[in-house]
């Protein structure tokens, strides 16, 4: 499909669905049904089977006429992580059930992966899923769960075979967050916000029809999610968006506080941010069937965390005493993750989490070392031992 054909489809759709008079949800549902949601997805699942690189043009055309969007910031986990994983491993019934309301924003998603004893070592999760008839009973605790308080569904990794080695005994599920056994509790961060949550699962019943992938295939499915997460976090957008845009604006607004040393640092970071952005654009263009390459996504996420922390630190230095002021430390539960919101102090504190969420920078460096540079893998003493025998 050419870009001209795609533009024609959008024009025909807008002629039949006036964004100014059509109900927002009806408009988004119609856009999904027309294949103009994810143009790279298959026909019947929000797409046209077209080149994924055409998606920005579609979004630009809809935004240009003031059409409603699906509030992507509020459902980043669903759009950036759950959807491509469901596309890759879901049954046709699962795709039909979940992808539509996910894209329209009628059902938001969260991620139940990390645990108090399984963060960087995700394969060490101890949340158990035990087979019971035509379903599973899940018990355990998850932590650092963004947007759990607003989510209808969650992508969940649980241990189904404690006798297997830790990477082999996991299974991936789609969990209904409205189940009475799901208890969501806020976790207050250094910013004052409770953006994250801890989630307790007590006798939560999940039907086997909401298992994604085969039993014991959870690690493989989860890696698809994690790879997409790193691309989603690190890919960036237009030039001078994100942290570099915020800091560049502060720089232009305060010429009296510039120094040659700060200028040199800012120029270096601006170039690095632009290189990362262009790399992200190239990576998105290479995506096929929702399967991003682990090395590229990991490199982008690593660069994103480092640049955000260095840039936010530079901004605080540039502002001097003003950079130390913090406007509000009231605990709120935001509707979406905002890396660059509010003031310089917030940006500096929030950026500390960038090297932890989505995979710690230490783990990602291992991935890059092993899969990009071809260096020997670290020794793993627990690699061939059953999970139940490992010390915890």
State the catalytic residue, choosing from 229, 310, 315, 357. Answer: 229
Please say if 315 is a catalytic residue: no
In sequence order, which residues have a C-beta less than 8 Å from that of residue 106 and are 6 or more positions away?
25
Give the closest residue to 243 by CA, choosing from 338, 329, 357, 326.
Answer: 338
What is the spatial distance between Cα 235 and Cα 346, in angstroms, rounded to a whole number?
Answer: 22
Give the closest residue to 211 by CA, choosing from 282, 155, 265, 290.
Answer: 155
What is the spatial distance between Cα 211 and Cα 157, in angstroms, rounded to a whole number?
Answer: 10
The angle that helices 361-371 and 294-319 make with each other, rounded to 10 degrees, is 140
Beta bridge partners of 372: none
Give the closest residue to 155 by CA, choosing from 92, 93, 85, 105.
Answer: 85
- End-to-end distance of the chain based on CA atoms, in angstroms? 53
| 147: alpha, beta or left? (left if phi > 0; alpha if psi -120 to 50) | left
Listed as own residue / partner, the contacts of 42-51 with beta carbons closer than 8 Å and 24 or more positions apart are 42/87, 44/96, 45/87, 45/95, 45/96, 45/99, 46/99, 46/100, 46/103, 48/1, 48/6, 48/9, 49/1, 50/1, 50/6, 51/1, 51/285
Q: Which two tokens stand for residue 376?
A: 């020997």
Q: Which residues are catalytic?
A: 229
């Amino acid at each position: 499909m050419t870009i001209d054909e795609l533009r024609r489809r959008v024009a025909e759709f807008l002629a039949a669905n006036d964004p100014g008079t059509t109900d927002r949800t009806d408009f988004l549902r119609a856009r999904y049904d027309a294949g103009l949601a994810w143009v790279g997805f298959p026909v019947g699942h929000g797409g046209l089977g077209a080149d994924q690189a055409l998606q920005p043009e579609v979004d630009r055309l809809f935004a240009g006429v003031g059409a409603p969007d699906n509030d992507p910031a509020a459902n980043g986990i669903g759009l950036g992580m759950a959807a491509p994983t469901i596309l890759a491993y879901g049954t046709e019934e699962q795709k039909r059930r979940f992808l539509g309301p996910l894209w329209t924003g009628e059902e938001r998603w969260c991620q139940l992966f990390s645990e108090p004893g399984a963060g960087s070592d995700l394969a060490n999760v101890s949340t158990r899923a035990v087979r019971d008839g035509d379903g599973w009973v899940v018990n355990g605790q998850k932590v650092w769960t963004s947007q759990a308080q607003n989510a209808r569904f969650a992508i969940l990794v649980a241990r189904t075979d404690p006798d297997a080695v830790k990477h082999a005994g996991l299974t991936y599920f789609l969990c209904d967050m409205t189940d009475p056994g799901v208890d969501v509790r806020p976790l207050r961060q250094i910013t004052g916000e409770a953006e994250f949550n801890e989630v307790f699962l007590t006798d939560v019943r999940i039907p086997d029809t909401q298992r994604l992938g085969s039993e014991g295939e959870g690690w493989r499915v989860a890696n698809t999610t994690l790879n997409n997460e790193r691309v989603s976090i690190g890919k960036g957008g237009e030039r001078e968006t994100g942290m570099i845009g915020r800091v560049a604006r502060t720089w232009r607004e305060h010429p009296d506080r510039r120094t040659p040393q700060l200028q040199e640092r800012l120029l270096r970071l601006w170039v690095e941010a632009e290189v990362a952005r262009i790399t992200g654009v190239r990576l998105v263009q290479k995506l096929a069937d929702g399967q991003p390459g682990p090395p590229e996504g990991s490199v982008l996420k690593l660069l994103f965390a480092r640049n955000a922390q260095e840039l936010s630190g530079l901004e605080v230095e540039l502002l001097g005493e003003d950079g130390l002021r913090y406007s509000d430390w009231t605990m709120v539960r935001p509707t979406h993750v905002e890396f660059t919101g509010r003031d310089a102090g917030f940006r500096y504190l929030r950026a500390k989490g960038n090297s932890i969420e989505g995979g710690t920078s230490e783990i990602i460096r291992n991935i890059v070392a092993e899969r990009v540079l071809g260096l020997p893998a670290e020794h793993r003493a627990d690699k061939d031992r059953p999970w139940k025998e490992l010390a915890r």
